[in-house]
Amino acid sequence: EEHSAKVRIFTPTLELPFAGHPTLGTAFVMKHKDLIEKNQQTIILELGIGPIRVAVLNENKIQMTQSKPTFEDSSDNIREIAEAIGLTEEDIDSDIPIQKVSTGSPYLIVPIKKLPTLKQARPPFGEDLRNLSLREIVIFSTETKYSDSHVHTRMFAPEAGVPEDPATGSAAGPLGAYLEKHKVLSNHQIGEPIHIEQGFEIGRPSQLVVRVPDKKMSEIYVSGRVRLIAEGTFYLP
């Protein structure tokens, strides 16, 4: 299948093989700039991890397909992880595991008991995560700001030059897989959309939608609405 574009993604400090929102944003820009056919709804973007299928669902809603998740063993460094984000071991929900999950990019997923506690967490220092052999960490609570959300999340990646991210598509897939695997959500059936709220703590609220279609988890769908906030032109010598 023909690829629509080759994409490279950079943070302030490094290049990433995969990131969710730059992928959705690239598809939006290609549609906005008529770089794909007007009636073309699916494109293939060639990223560092390989080809990613992206669907343009409507004018500003974009969905990407992420790969089958991988789950590492649960982490028992509960106290060290809690301290790295300014919390205590008692703030962590011990009923479900701390676990690293990847659908293209690995994230350590940490369940927090209460939303007010999650809001009090601080972005970790890079050294804290290096000592734990980590790069990105996602914390979440099933207590949410909005009634139609399933989880409230924050994502920290100081080593990538991103103390906190307002919306993380590449983490939404792993989180959705984690929530389904451990049956975290009550009154929720696999295949139904999971609504994730993020970014409130840094003044950039966002909502992502993830769907795990079946128990095989062979594919995971992550979508969001894209908004144009700036335009410009680079002139190369």
Asked whether residue 103 falls in the same domain as residue 86, the answer is yes
Mean pLDDT, to the nearest integer, of 170-188? 96
Average pLDDT over the chain, rounded to an integer:
93
| 228 falls within a domain | no
The per-residue pLDDT for range 13-50, each reduced to its tens digit, is 999 999 998 999 999 999 888 888 878 889 999 999 99
Taking only the tens place, the pLDDT of each residue in 102-142 is 999 999 999 999 999 999 999 988 788 888 878 899 999 99
What's residue 129's pLDDT?
Answer: 81
Asked if residue 105 belongs to a domain, the reply is yes
- Is 197 domain-assigned? yes
Write the CATH number for 45: 3.10.310.10
> Do 147 and 60 share a structural domain?
no
User: What pLDDT score was predicted for residue 125?
Assistant: 86
pLDDT in tens, 146-167: 999 999 999 999 888 999 999 9
Q: Are residues 62 and 76 in the same domain?
A: no
* Number of structural domains in the chain: 2
Strand partners, 74: 99
Judged by DSSP in three states, 134 sits in: coil
pTM: 0.92
Residues 19/166, Cβ–Cβ less than 8 Å: no
- Segment 53-80 mean pLDDT: 92
- State which residues form the domain around 10: 5-66
**Are residues 47 and 87 both part of a single domain?**
no
pLDDT tens-place string over residues 43-64? 999 999 999 999 998 878 999 9
Strand ranges (E), the chain: 5-6, 9-10, 15-16, 42-47, 50-56, 61-67, 70-74, 99-102, 106-111, 137-141, 151-157, 162-165, 194-198, 206-211, 219-225
| Residue 187 is assigned to a structural domain of this protein | yes
In this structure, is residue 124 part of a structural domain?
yes
